[in-house]
Amino acid sequence: MSRQPQIAPLPDRRLHLQDGPIDLIIGADGPETEIRAAYRAAVERFTGLLDELCSELPDLRKAADRERCSLTGIVARRMHMVVAPFAAEMFITPMAAVAGAVAEEILGAMLSAAKLTRAYVNNGGDIALHLRDAATFSVGLMDRPDDAGTMRRMTLRANDGIRGVATSGRRGRSFSLGIADAVTVLARSAAQADAAATVIGNAVDLPGHSAVVRRPAYELQPDSDLGHRLVTCEVGDLCDADVATALASGEQAAQTLLADGLIEGAVLQLAGNIRIVGARPVEVIRPSQLRAAAA
C-alpha cells in the first residue's frame, strides 16, 4: 500500500498536498461539485507518485540521452522528453524537470475528472496552469530578494497558450551552475518551462569570476545528480559591466530557445537588473498596490 500524503484544505478553497520533498498548492475555479471532483482526483494521483519516481531515481539522476530513454513511468518519461533536446549540447538530467513534470501530472488528473474554468498546481514555484474563456493568472516577479527590490507582474490569459511557468536560479530550492537571482520561463507545459529555466539560469554566468564562490555539488549534497560539477554558493559585488555580461549570456540562451519554439518567453534577473525575452507586457506594482492587496 502506498504511503498516504499529507492533505490539508486551505481556508481560501485551495488544497495543500505534501509528500517528502513534493509540496503542492492547488487552486481551482468552477462549480463547487467540479472543484471537489478535481481535488479528489489530485489526491488520488498524488498518492504514490513519489514512490513511482523513487523507484527510478538512479536513472533519473543520470545524464539524459537525446535518442534513448529507458525510463518507464509516465512522469519520469515526461521529464526525460523535455530535457532530451538539450542533452547533445550540455550535461542535463531528467531531474531538471521534476517539479514541473509532477505539477503537470496532477493538473492533468484534475482536468480529466472535472470541468474547470481555471486551475493551477504550484510545486514550489513551478506551476502547471489551465485557463479557459476569460480566466487569467498573474505571475509575480521580484527582481531582487531584499526590500529594495521592485515587484513586477505578468498577466497570462487563456489565448496565450502558456500552460507552464517555472523559476530557477541560485536562490532557489535546487543548485544552479549560474549566478542569476531568478530566471522565470513561460512555456507550453510546466515540465518544459522547468527544464528551460534550469538551462537559462545556468547560462547567466561569469565563468572564473573572483566574486563568485562555487563548490562541487556532492560536497553540499552527496547524492546530487550534478556530482562533481561546481554549483554557485555565493555571489559578491559585481560591477554594472559584469552584470550586463552575465545577463547577456543568459538572454542569448533564452532567445535561442524562443526561436526553437521551446519557450514562449523568459524574465532574467540579477542584482536588481532585468531582461525580458519575448513580447510580453510586464507591469510594475507600486507599494501602495501591494498594501491594498494585503488589506
Question: Among 109, 110, 273, which Cα is nearest to 183's?
Answer: 273
Give the predicted TM-score (pTM) of the model.
0.90
pLDDT digits (tens, 9 = 90+) for 121-169: 999 989 999 999 999 999 887 665 444 555 778 899 999 889 999 998 8
Domain ranges, ordered by start, for the chain: 6-289
Partners of 9 in beta bridges: 15
pLDDT, position 288? 46
C-alpha cell at 8: 490539508
Q: Which helix (H) or strand (E) holds 215?
A: strand 212-216
Chain centroid to CA 151: 19
Mean pLDDT, residues 62-73 taken together: 93
Mean pLDDT, residues 39-60 taken together: 96
Distance between CA 274 and CA 35 in Å, rounded? 37
Domain 6-289 has CATH 3.40.50.2020: no
Mean pLDDT, residues 230-246 taken together: 94
pLDDT, position 35? 97
Question: In b/e form, how buried is each residue of 84-106, taking b as 16+ CB within 10 angstroms?
Answer: bbbbeeeebbbbbbbbbbbbbbb
Question: Among 64, 98, 71, which Cα is nearest to 194's?
Answer: 98
Q: Report the Cα–Cα distance between both ends of the chain, in Å, rounded.
A: 45
